[in-house]
């Protein structure tokens, strides 16, 4: 209680200091501030990205305290944060001459060099900062790590964080940053290890439980993810992020009933959460309750009319209900909002196909393959449309064009086999059928969708018999 009161009084005191400073600028009214006051004032404006006022505070501070190295360092920091790295570096070079053993000067120099992409020179500056940090080398190590994080050099950040952690193993901020950096380095196991270490020291951190849950989610261990989110929610039942992530994990477990409940709980906490509304619609869609799914997608659009996924969700629901003209309207709206989404174009192709609009289907499927050349379904659908029009060679050409991206997809190989068979090229039919069998034997029956006779061929029967001699083919 005393700490809270002290903090409140300190904030109130600073607000009065800030008011006096702004009055000084506005009314040209002389007022004195000590160096510590100027530091806080400058930081306040930096936090709000008010660089011109921060520079004015530096100018006033240096005028009142012309010998203050602290304020000169702040000036360089302001220019660095403003993005004027060279100007900041020139100021630091001047400071180096006066302050040859000041760790703050070398720390700031390293940070500026990092911003400029000169990581090797930055490291030399940081080495000097550590060398002269007699009083508190651990804080210097931590600040260096944060500088490397800022420029996405996470391996270098880890190096300094690990050293700081060895010196102070119970410092939660070190452990938290290590967990974060290892996550960014895609080392999920190491990241989880540090989050667990954090929770050993602070088991009531809902943020740490949620972060650990997200790691399990990435590993597709959705049950463990749900457990972590449950701990976070038990600590803080109003923690909307944990509720939302729990719903996502439940949806991935195909526990759609409980996912629905969680998404609704999240919406109670955050009524304007667009993703929660949209994902709730998607969950009802998976439950095949398309009417309710559409209702939630429409609520999503009411919150954000530009949210393309909700328009697309409505189109999918109408597609499942075989209301193709309605689906066409909504998928076109989704595409108008996001022209680069291959799923939207693929569904547009399917809708045109159902409406017997061959030209529209071919155009949509073609665009889907351009946006995502790994979409085997789009390639197969495009080939099928050409075959339906009697263009057998075009169908083969389309799948051959796709092959550098889809060579390991059994459906593509089986489709090629069937089309080559219809074209009278049995050798090529056998070649692609063999590849299909090696990828997925049970899927070989899909060739019947294109040619009922292919499986009757002797060489094809031999392939199936050789691969599965126990089968009667």
Q: For 244-272, how does the pLDDT look when each residue is reduced to its tens digit (9 = 90+)? A: 999 999 999 999 999 999 999 999 999 99
User: What is the average pLDDT across 176-191?
Assistant: 96
Angle at the Cα of 12 from the Cα atoms of 47 and 69, rounded to 5 degrees: 50
- When pLDDT is cut at 50, 70 and 90, the band that residue 468 belongs to is low
- When pLDDT is cut at 50, 70 and 90, the band that residue 73 belongs to is confident
What is the predicted pLDDT for the residue at 292? 98
Percent of the residues in the chain that have a pLDDT greater than 90, as a whole number = 74
CB 345 within 8 A of CB 365: yes
- Integer-rounded Cα Rg, in Å, for the chain is 32
Q: Which residue has the higher pLDDT, 225 or 13?
A: 225
User: What is the average pLDDT across 270-293?
Assistant: 97
Least confident of 240-244, 249-253, 371-375, 469-473: 469-473
Q: What is the mean pLDDT of the chain?
A: 92
Read off the pLDDT of residues 153-171 as tens digits, 9 standing for 90 and up.
Answer: 999 999 999 999 999 999 9
CB 42 within 8 A of CB 57: yes
What is the predicted pLDDT for the residue at 25? 85
What is the predicted pLDDT for the residue at 280? 98
What is the predicted pLDDT for the residue at 21? 87
Residue 313's nearest CA partner among 324, 298, 325 is 298
Q: Is the pLDDT of residue 385 over 90?
A: yes
What is the predicted pLDDT for the residue at 473? 40
Residue 337's nearest CA partner among 379, 308, 300 is 308
User: How would you class 376 by CB atoms within 10 Å of its CB: exposed for 0-12, middle for 13-18, buried for 19 or more?
Assistant: buried
User: How would you class 145 by CB atoms within 10 Å of its CB: exposed for 0-12, middle for 13-18, buried for 19 or more?
Assistant: buried
Q: Is the pLDDT of residue 327 over 80?
A: yes
**Spatial separation of the C-alpha atoms in residues 329 and 84, rounded to whole Å:** 50
What is the predicted pLDDT for the residue at 392? 96
Read off the pLDDT of residues 25-66 as tens digits, 9 standing for 90 and up.
Answer: 888 878 888 888 888 998 898 888 888 888 888 888 888 888
DSSP secondary structure string, 43-58? HHHHHTT-HHHHHHHH
User: What is the average pLDDT across 364-392?
Assistant: 96
Q: What's the token pair of residue 406? A: 């889809």
CB 265 within 8 A of CB 246: no
User: What is the average pLDDT across 103-125?
Assistant: 91
Read off the pLDDT of residues 387-427 as tens digits, 9 standing for 90 and up.
Answer: 999 999 999 999 999 999 999 999 999 999 999 999 999 99
Greatest extent of the chain over all pairs of C-alpha atoms, in Å: 101
User: What is the average pLDDT across 279-306?
Assistant: 98
Percent of the residues in the chain that have a pLDDT greater than 70, as a whole number = 96
- The sign of the torsion formed by the CA atoms of 428, 431, 434, 435 equals negative
Phi, psi (5° rounding) for residue 187?
-100, 80
CA 209: distance to chain centroid? 19
Polymer length in residues for the chain:
473
**Spatial separation of the C-alpha atoms in residues 167 and 234, rounded to whole Å:** 33
- When pLDDT is cut at 50, 70 and 90, the band that residue 174 belongs to is very high
What is the predicted pLDDT for the residue at 130? 93
Phi, psi (5° rounding) for residue 33?
-135, 140
**Spatial separation of the C-alpha atoms in residues 7 and 90, rounded to whole Å:** 37
User: What is the average pLDDT across 345-356?
Assistant: 97
pTM for the whole structure: 0.82
Read off the pLDDT of residues 426-453 as tens digits, 9 standing for 90 and up.
Answer: 999 999 999 999 999 999 999 999 998 9
Read off the pLDDT of residues 89-108 as tens digits, 9 standing for 90 and up.
Answer: 988 888 888 888 889 899 99
CB 171 within 8 A of CB 165: yes
Q: What's the token pair of residue 149? A: 């994080």
What is the predicted pLDDT for the residue at 10? 57
- When pLDDT is cut at 50, 70 and 90, the band that residue 467 belongs to is low
What is the predicted pLDDT for the residue at 1? 42
User: What is the average pLDDT across 5-34?
Assistant: 77
């Amino acid at each position: 209680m005393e700490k809270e009161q002290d903090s409140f009084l300190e904030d109130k005191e600073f607000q009065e200091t800030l008011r006096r400073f702004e009055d000084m600028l506005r009314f040209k009214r002389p007022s004195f501030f000590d160096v510590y006051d100027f530091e806080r004032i400058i930081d306040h404006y930096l936090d709000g990205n008010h660089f011109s006022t921060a520079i004015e505070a530096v100018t006033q501070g240096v005028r009142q305290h012309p010998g203050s190295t602290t304020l000169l360092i702040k000036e360089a920091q302001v220019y660095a944060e403003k993005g004027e790295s060279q100007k900041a570096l020139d100021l630091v070079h001047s400071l180096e001459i006066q302050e040859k053993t000041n760790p703050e000067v070398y720390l700031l120099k390293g940070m500026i060099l990092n911003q400029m992409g000169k990581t090797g020179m930055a490291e030399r500056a940081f080495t000097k900062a550590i060398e002269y940090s007699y009083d508190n080398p651990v804080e210097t190590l931590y600040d260096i790590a944060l500088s490397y994080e800022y420029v996405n050099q996470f391996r270098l950040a880890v190096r300094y964080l690990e050293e700081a952690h060895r010196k102070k193993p119970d410092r939660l901020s070190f452990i938290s940053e290590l967990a974060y950096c290892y996550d960014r380095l895609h080392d999920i196991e190491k990241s989880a290890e540090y989050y667990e270490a954090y929770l050993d020291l602070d088991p009531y951190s809902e943020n740490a439980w949620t972060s650990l849950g997200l790691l399990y989610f990435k590993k597709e261990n959705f049950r463990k993810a749900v457990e972590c989110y449950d701990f976070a929610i038990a600590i803080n039942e109003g923690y909307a992020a944990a509720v939302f992530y729990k719903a996502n994990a439940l949806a991935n477990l195909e526990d759609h009933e409980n996912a629905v409940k969680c998404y609704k709980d999240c919406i109670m906490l955050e009524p304007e959460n667009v993703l929660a509304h949209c994902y709730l619609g998607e969950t009802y869609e998976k439950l095949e309750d398309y009417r309710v799914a559409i209702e939630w997608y429409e609520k999503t659009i009411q919150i954000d009319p530009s949210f393309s996924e909700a328009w697309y969700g409505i189109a999918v629901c109408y597609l499942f209900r075989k209301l193709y003209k309605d689906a066409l309207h909504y998928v076109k709206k989704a595409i108008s909002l996001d022209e680069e989404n291959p799923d939207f174009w693929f569904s547009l192709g399917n809708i045109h196909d159902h409406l017997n609009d061959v030209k529209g289907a071919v155009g949509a499927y073609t665009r889907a393959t351009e946006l995502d050349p790994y979409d085997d379904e789009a390639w197969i659908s495009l080939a099928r449309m050409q075959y339906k029009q009697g263009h057998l060679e075009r169908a083969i050409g389309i799948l051959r064009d796709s092959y550098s991206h889809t060579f390991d997809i059994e459906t593509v190989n089986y489709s090629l086999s069937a089309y080559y068979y219809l074209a009278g090229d049995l050798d090529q039919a056998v070649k692609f059928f063999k590849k299909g069998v090696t990828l997925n034997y049970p899927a070989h029956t899909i060739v019947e969708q294109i040619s009922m006779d292919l499986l009757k061929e002797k060489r094809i029967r031999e392939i199936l018999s050789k691969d599965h001699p126990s089968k009667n083919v």
